[in-house]
Amino acid sequence: LFTFPSISKSNDLFCEAGIEATSSSKILIKGGTVVNAYHLEVADVYIEDGIIVAVKPNIEVDDDVEVLDATGKYVMPGGIDPHTHLGLKAFGTEAVDDFVSGQAAALAGGTTMHIDFVKPINGSLTAGLEAYEKKAKKSCMDYGFHMVITKWDEVISEEMEIVVKEKGINSFKFFMAYKEYQMINDEILLEGFKRCKSLGALAMVHAENGDAVFEGQKRMIELGITGPEGHALSRPPLLEGEATSRAIRLAKFVNTPLYVVHVMSIDAMEEIAEARKSGQRVIGEPIVSGLVLDDSGLWSSDFVTAAKYVISPPLRASGHNKALQAALATGFLQLVGTDHCAFNSTQKALGIDDFRKIPNGVNGIEERMHLVWDTMVESGQISVTDYVRLTSTECARIFNIYPRKGAILVGSDADIIILNPNSSFEITAKSHHSRSDTNVYEGWRGKGKVEVTIAGGRVVWENDELKVVPGSGKYIEMPPFSYLFDGIDKEDEKYLSSLQAPVNRFKLST
């Protein structure tokens, strides 16, 4: 059975803020519309010790059970954010949201699990993982890890096997950009894809042509364009489309599934759509900033305002966002992440004279669930069941933890939100839970509010108040060979038998 560690009264953010944790481990959610990815019904949900024990109408319970009335509201799986960078060390600084403040923000916004990218130390995966295990110790919600590959040799290849078979990691990210830090070339990409395939791990790419970006940056500086707009001008959609196309074709050559992170442009999206139409196993992940914002903020005359929008790949001209929304609604893109990587205005000012030095990244972990609801469901582009699929279920399936996560089913983890479609939300840095002093969605008002978040069977967000327990979050091991690998062996056999004719072409039959 799942037991809750006691609350530490010393030096944690939330005790200091005077926030108490609730003790009930039995909860009944009454009368709501329970939504799963392909089905919804009015039912009660009964939770005991962190697990969903019953989902059916009219559940009767004893007095020791905490009852939450969800009449007229949606009861949905907590959000899973497939893409975060809590406490990332980059650009000579460290992202302000760590596993404490970033997770607090997540829970306040209805996200109950996130998958963060482990950055290797001097290329070493196991050293990097150890550092991230430390960072994540105080977690107040469940989390998993992807692993970044920054160089290639036999040791790294061996380490990949260790992290997959012993450490619960089933995905590896390859950076095709950031030439001066971690860019890998096509040879490493191919080696990495082959290794991923043999381990049943998902290959992920940051798809921008890093050599061309480097050239584009020089071009802007030579032209005297040093402000944040130079960031976007130096790495146009063209370069994202090229790298996406290249990664897709190399993944096809190896015949392994591919996950393209932070799809920001029509150019990249169309490459993914084409590949999927031809039957290739490609997943496209737009992020909430790319879905709802455009590049106009980068042209602000105020540096602090302009710099907060710097992220890679960059926000694009208006039109790309609408196209990404349409692709999400029609199934060409599969799930929504955030790429949450928050730097405050002092950190962004590292690039006051040179956009290349502005730490890359925007917030979103707290805002994703609300913005996807407002932009996609409220607008009529997707159904409520689609919403659950795009914000939770599909992520759980891709990373092979469904139906433990991503579903309201008997036996699933009790990670649940109650969303009131008639209530409204407003986003502002004054009230958000991120440690950043800015918010790229500042002033956004919309409909549909997450009123309750339950994580690991506890009410952690209610009445606009957080009640989290640092240390209660669990590391979620993600096994290899997700559904994306089903049938690959048959495809490979077919390919190999097609080679038999050419192999024997000039041999005399005896």
The contact set with Zn ion (CB under 5 A) reads 7, 12, 14-15, 206, 339
Please identify, using beta-carbon distances, which residue of 73 and 262 lies nearer to ligand URP: 262
Please identify, using beta-carbon distances, which residue of 206 and 397 lies nearer to ligand URP: 206
Q: Among ligand URP, Zn ion, none, what does residue 311 contact (CB within 5–8 Å per kind)?
A: ligand URP
Provide the mask over 216-255, with x wherever binding to ligand URP is found by CB under 6 A and - wherever it is not.
----------------------------------------
- Smallest separation (angstroms) from Zn ion to the CB of 21: 6
Handedness of CA 195, 198, 199, 204 (dihedral sign): positive
Report the 10 Å Cβ neighbour count for 436: 23
Helices (H), 278-319: 288-292, 303-307
Cα of 330 vs its chain's centroid, Å: 20
Q: Among Zn ion, ligand URP, none, what does residue 140 contact (CB within 5–8 Å per kind)?
A: none
Helices (H), 38-123: 101-108
- Smallest separation (angstroms) from ligand URP to the CB of 341: 4
- Smallest separation (angstroms) from Zn ion to the CB of 458: 12
In angstroms, what CA-CA distances link 358 with 229, 231, 344? 11, 9, 11
User: Exposure pattern of 481-503 as b/e (b: 16+ CB <10 Å)?
Assistant: ebebbeebeeeeeeeeeeeeeee
Rounded distance between C-alpha atoms, residue 369 and residue 181, angstroms? 32
Provide the mask over 198-217, with x wherever binding to ligand URP is found by CB under 6 A and - wherever it is not.
--------x-----------
Near ligand URP by CB under 6 A: residue from 311, 371, 382, 416? 311
Please identify, using beta-carbon distances, which residue of 310 and 408 lies nearer to Zn ion: 310
Rounded distance between C-alpha atoms, residue 436 and residue 101, angstroms? 10
Q: H/E/C letters for each residue in 185-199?
A: CHHHHHHHHHHHHHH
Q: Among ligand URP, Zn ion, none, what does residue 14 contact (CB within 5–8 Å per kind)?
A: Zn ion
- Smallest separation (angstroms) from ligand URP to the CB of 123: 17
Task: Report which residue's Cβ sits closest to ligand URP.
Answer: 360
Report the 10 Å Cβ neighbour count for 409: 14
Which residues between 258 and 277 bind ligand URP (CB under 6 A)?
262
- Smallest separation (angstroms) from Zn ion to the CB of 177: 8
Question: At residue 158, what are phi and psi to the nearest 5 degrees?
Answer: -65, -40
Rounded distance between C-alpha atoms, residue 8 and residue 19, angstroms? 12
Binding status of residue 420 toward ligand URP by CB under 6 A? no
The residues, ordered by sequence, that sit 6+ positions from 405 with a Cβ below 8 Å of its Cβ are 77, 80, 113, 142, 392, 395, 396, 412, 413, 415, 476
Q: Among ligand URP, Zn ion, none, what does residue 361 contact (CB within 5–8 Å per kind)?
A: ligand URP
Which residues between 160 and 199 bind ligand URP (CB under 6 A)?
none
Helices (H), 96-209: 101-108, 125-135, 154-166, 186-199
- Smallest separation (angstroms) from Zn ion to the CB of 261: 6
CB contact at 8 A, 30 and 70: yes
- Smallest separation (angstroms) from ligand URP to the CB of 264: 9
80 backbone φψ class: left, alpha, beta (φ>0; ψ -120 to 50): beta
Cα-based angle 152, 157, 162 (whole degrees, multiple of 5):
140
Binding status of residue 149 toward ligand URP by CB under 6 A? no
Q: Among Zn ion, ligand URP, none, what does residue 146 contact (CB within 5–8 Å per kind)?
A: none
Please identify, using beta-carbon distances, which residue of 33 and 101 lies nearer to Zn ion: 101
- Smallest separation (angstroms) from ligand URP to the CB of 126: 21
Q: Among ligand URP, Zn ion, none, what does residue 360 contact (CB within 5–8 Å per kind)?
A: ligand URP
Provide the mask over 332-371, with x wherever binding to ligand URP is found by CB under 6 A and - wherever it is not.
-------x-x------------------xx----------
Binding status of residue 85 toward ligand URP by CB under 6 A? yes
Q: Among Zn ion, ligand URP, none, what does residue 458 contact (CB within 5–8 Å per kind)?
A: none
- Smallest separation (angstroms) from ligand URP to the CB of 309: 11
The residues, ordered by sequence, that sit 6+ positions from 77 with a Cβ below 8 Å of its Cβ are 35, 36, 388, 392, 393, 405, 406, 407, 408, 412, 415, 416, 417
Binding site for ligand URP (CB under 6 A): 85, 206, 262, 311-312, 339, 341, 360-361
